[in-house]
Amino acid sequence: MSELKVFQQRIAAAQADRRLVTAVKSATLSKVVAREVALGELHDATALRQSAAAIKQHLLDHLPEYLEQFVTQVRARGGVVHFAPDAAAACRIIGDLAATRGAKLAVKAKSMTSEEVHLNAALTERGVEVVETDLGEFIVQIAHDRPSHIVTPIIHKDRRQVATTMAQVLGCPYTEDPGELTKIARAHLRDIFRRCDLGITGVNFAVAETGSICLLTNEGNGRMTTTRPRVHIALVGIEKLVPRLADLPVFLKLIARSTTGQAMGIYTTLISGPRQAGERDGPEELHVVLLDNGRSDIWAGAFREVLRCIRCGACLNACPVFRNVGGHAYHSVYPGPIGSLVTPLLSHLREGTGLPRASSLCGACQVACPVMIDIPKYLVQLRAAAPGVQPLAKRLGLRGWRAVVSQPALYRAAQWMLRRVVRGRWRDWLARGPLAAWGQRRELPTPAPRTFTEIWDAQLGGQRGGRP
Ligand code: SF4
């Protein structure tokens, strides 16, 4: 079965699940409203977004220099830098670090980059138990599920499902009270934090100027993960850099507003190296694993701007397609509009080539994006780059259309014919036969009895000397 067919089946299945659609719609719409309100509180949100876009674009245009600076600064502060050209290398490096330190229990703060490289499975194979500490990710993990949103991993679940999972897996009393559920998860995770050997995080931003890494969380689990274990490993996509510490506030003002509508994330953690002499907390070792995994090829090509993404998730919330099918229908670590770009690009067009078609090109994603990525433009470009996913009939139809519209006489003849077919007794046959699937959710429009050009010719053409 073709990839497109499989994708269409997943979409149909998601749309048939009314509980899923209701949960995703309600959560995304409330985030869209919260984002609007939060950005409205800024003096000039557009100017701030322009600054963020310019900083990220400048960073990308000088990426090799900034990477070098970042590496030098991390080392100067006592951190160790590793380079991972691909997912397998990242898993191997982190697995080796765990093995050489005898680590058996790792805690992990939410990290889409670690999802991208399938780190949990790789570490489990090497005998390391990995426990997710972000509440949403924790629930995904104990439910043996997958995240369906890059920021809100359980957006597809309602309160009842979360309560049922926690009662079944943790053996706690059934409750749907979010406060109670959070307390239960906290008590469970505290014990794990006490016993863990290794802390693994992604990063939200990495500062080239100082070699610092910046983590944003709402639950404080990022701080526990980076301070309690002896060893902290940060997995960093090479595009996560910002040039200077002074650039951070621009992004900090935007990211939480774009994500959840908060003015700031609850915990902003800035880490510059491992624990130093005289410091009371922090890990003994800090390892930064710089991940490429297809990014440098994106960087070198026509889609560089896509790497500006700060993974805020606003484009997912704004997207009418995501809202109606949820994240699992994309069958990709990165769903939604940005996932429809990143998935095929990171895989050199080997995976997710049908995803750029999961868009009406309404532009809501671009309007929501804090770093102003022209997502619709790149979706269209990717559609052209992977034409093989277009059904043959559609490709032939488009070629026929091009031939007809490029010849006025043929075009007029086609218009005449179409009017007679669609307005005449063939209309019912068309609606029930060749256009049946298309017509499931649409009305077949009736063409006007005369075209605009015919009306123009009849009424004004003679007086004004020709057609428009
Ligand atoms: S593309 Fe823009 S809106 Fe979407 S996740 Fe990335 S930064 Fe956020």
Helix (H, G, I), strand (E, B) or coil at 246: helix
CA-based angle 184:190:192, to the nearest 5?
110
pLDDT tens for 335-346 read 999 999 999 999
Model confidence at 347: pLDDT above 70: yes
Model confidence at 438: pLDDT above 80: no
Model confidence at 292: pLDDT above 90: yes
pLDDT of residue 462: 57
Kindly state the helix (H) or strand (E) to which residue 468 belongs, with its residue range: none
Distance 239 CA to ligand 1 centre (A): 13
pLDDT of residue 287: 98
Contact 198, 112 (CB under 8 A): no
Model confidence at 146: pLDDT above 90: yes
Mean pLDDT of 432-444: 76
Q: What's the chain's average pLDDT?
A: 92
pLDDT of residue 391: 65
Which atom of ligand 1 lies at the shortest distance from residue 337's CA?
Answer: 4
CA–CA distance from 229 to each of 124, 189, 226 (Å)?
18, 13, 7
Closest residue by Cα to atom 7, ligand 1, is: 309
Closest CA to 187 of 198, 172, 203: 172
pLDDT tens for 303-334 read 999 999 999 999 999 999 999 999 999 999 99
pLDDT of residue 259: 94
pLDDT tens for 29-48 read 999 999 999 999 999 999 99
DSSP states of 164-194: HHHHHHH-PPP---HHHHHHHHHHHHHHHHH
Rounded distance between C-alpha atoms, residue 165 and residue 143, angstroms:
6
Closest residue by Cα to atom 3, ligand 1, is: 369
Q: Token pair for residue 184?
A: 């239960």
Distance 338 CA to ligand 1 centre (A): 6
Closest CA to 193 of 220, 154, 168: 220
Burial class of 118 by CB neighbour count within 10 A (0 to 12, 13 to 18, 19+): middle
Mean pLDDT of 429-447: 78
Contact 326, 12 (CB under 8 A): no
Distance 150 CA to ligand 1 centre (A): 10
pLDDT of residue 435: 78
Closest residue by Cα to atom 6, ligand 1, is: 309
Higher local confidence (pLDDT), 431 or 154: 154
Which of 48, 254, 311 has most ligand 1 atoms within 8 Å of its beta carbon, as the pocket-test mutant? 311
pLDDT of residue 142: 96
Q: Token pair for residue 303?
A: 């889609």
Distance 396 CA to ligand 1 centre (A): 35
Closest CA to 14 of 111, 155, 110, 142: 155
Distance 364 CA to ligand 1 centre (A): 11
Higher local confidence (pLDDT), 399 or 63: 63
Which atom of ligand 1 lies at the shortest distance from residue 316's CA?
Answer: 4
The least confident of 88-92, 172-176, 177-181, 418-422 is 418-422
How remote is the C-alpha of 347 from its chain's centroid?
A: 15
pLDDT of residue 103: 96
Query: pLDDT-derived band of residue 247, with 50, 70 and 90 as boundaries?
Result: very high
Model confidence at 416: pLDDT above 70: yes
Which of 204, 341, 369, 379 has most ligand 1 atoms within 8 Å of its beta carbon, as the pocket-test mutant? 369
The pocket around ligand 1, CB under 6 angstroms, is made up of: 309-315, 338, 368-371, 373
Distance 433 CA to ligand 1 centre (A): 41
Q: Token pair for residue 410?
A: 């043929």
pLDDT of residue 255: 97
Query: pLDDT-derived band of residue 388, with 50, 70 and 90 as boundaries?
Result: low
Closest residue by Cα to atom 2, ligand 1, is: 369
The least confident of 64-73, 175-184, 374-383, 398-407 is 398-407
pLDDT of residue 429: 80
Instruction: Decide: pTM greater than 0.75.
Output: yes
Please, which residues have CB within 8 angstroms of residue 199's CB and are 6 or more apart in sequence?
106, 107, 108, 109, 225, 226, 227, 228, 229, 231, 232, 233, 283
